[in-house]
Amino acid sequence: MKLIKLVLFCLTLICFLPPSQGKVFRNAYLSFELPDGWNCVLESTEWICRNQETRQSKEAIIIFTAKEVGPTDSYAIYEQTINTPRTVNDKSGKGIPSQIVMRAKQTKINDQLWVDGLQKGSEIPNYFTRYLATIKEKIAILVTFSAHADHFAKYSSEFYKAVLSLRVIASKNLLALPSSSSGNPNTSGVWGAASTAPGGISMDGEAPFGRRKKNSSKNLTYILMTLGGLLVVAGVFFFMKTKKR
């Protein structure tokens, strides 16, 4: 309870922070200010944004996706979905119900109406997740900002600036464009597959955002090969130098 009060205090405090200009991310339908040192990568139908520093990349994450508006897309449904506690399994497989920290409500950001709400433990145990969902023309968009409870205060101001800078830039003919790496909307549903939590965050052992584990072995192999090559070059250099003596 004390932690939730601290979170609400942080959210109130950052309202008095002056605006600043940072790196702006932009794709086919959305733009916003990224925290310093962050980068976004398109994975399937979702954009995944996080700190490029390995250790800090596990502390917080931003995920967003879009789709063509369907029967289940409305502001009322978004409010109901975000205001409904969810059950997420911990490492032992035990189901833990999430907590509604800030009830979802409709708010305007840069002249665009969004549904905005905050839960704890709705994606991963001990992680706060802020949900923002909107509809423009025929496009439905969902953005989630998640941070571990121990680091929430650290990212509150950065997330606040990112939220204030959200702009929906989807054109009316966007759905007529062929799908590409620019991140055009998908057709699978703004909340993801039925078995996936809103925002699609997964937990994999000690790496909360385990989507990058596929590349970790390749990176390790590359590093080992590079080190091996350097050792060979050093060995040849040492041999030639000894031979000259």
pLDDT of residue 54: 87
The answer on 218 and 203 residing in a single domain is no
Res 52: pLDDT:
93
At 199 the pLDDT is 40
128 and 72 inside one domain? yes
pLDDT of residue 170: 82
DSSP class per residue in the chain? -HHHHHHHHHHHHGGGSPP----EEE-SSEEEEPPTTEEEEEETTEEEEEESSTTGGGTEEEEEEEEE--TT--HHHHHHHHTS--EEE-TTS-EEE-EEEEEEEEEEETTEEEEEEEEESSSSTTEEEEEEEEEETTEEEEEEEEEEGGGHHHHHHHHHHHHHT-EE---TTGGGSPP-TTT--BSS-TT-STTS-TT----BTTBSSGGGHHHHHHHHHHHHHHHHHHHHHHHHHHHHHHHH-
The pLDDT value recorded for residue 219 is: 40
- Note whether 61 and 163 are same-domain residues: yes
60 and 163 belong to one structural domain: yes
pLDDT at 21 (0 to 100): 52
Tens place of pLDDT per residue across the chain (245 aa): 555 544 444 444 444 444 445 689 999 999 999 999 999 999 988 999 999 998 889 899 999 999 999 999 999 999 999 999 999 998 888 999 999 999 999 999 999 999 999 999 999 899 999 999 999 989 999 999 999 999 999 999 999 999 999 999 987 777 765 544 455 555 444 554 333 333 443 333 333 333 333 343 334 333 344 444 544 444 544 445 555 55
Task: Assess whether 201 and 223 both reside in one domain.
Answer: no
Mark whether 193 and 231 lie in a shared domain. no
The number of distinct structural domains making up the chain is 2
Q: Is the domain of 198 the same as that of 230? A: no
pLDDT at residue 241, rounded to an integer: 55
Q: Distance (Å, rounded) from C-alpha 206 to C-alpha 217?
A: 16
Give me the domain span that covers residue 133: 2-208
Domain at 85, CATH number: 3.40.1000.10
Residues 59 and 134 in one domain: yes
pLDDT at 1: 59
The pLDDT assigned to 55 comes to 85
pLDDT of residue 177: 56
Does 220 lie in the same domain as 154? no
Residues 153 and 92 in one domain: yes
Q: Are residues 14 and 71 in the same domain?
A: yes
The verdict on 106 and 133 lying in the same domain is: yes
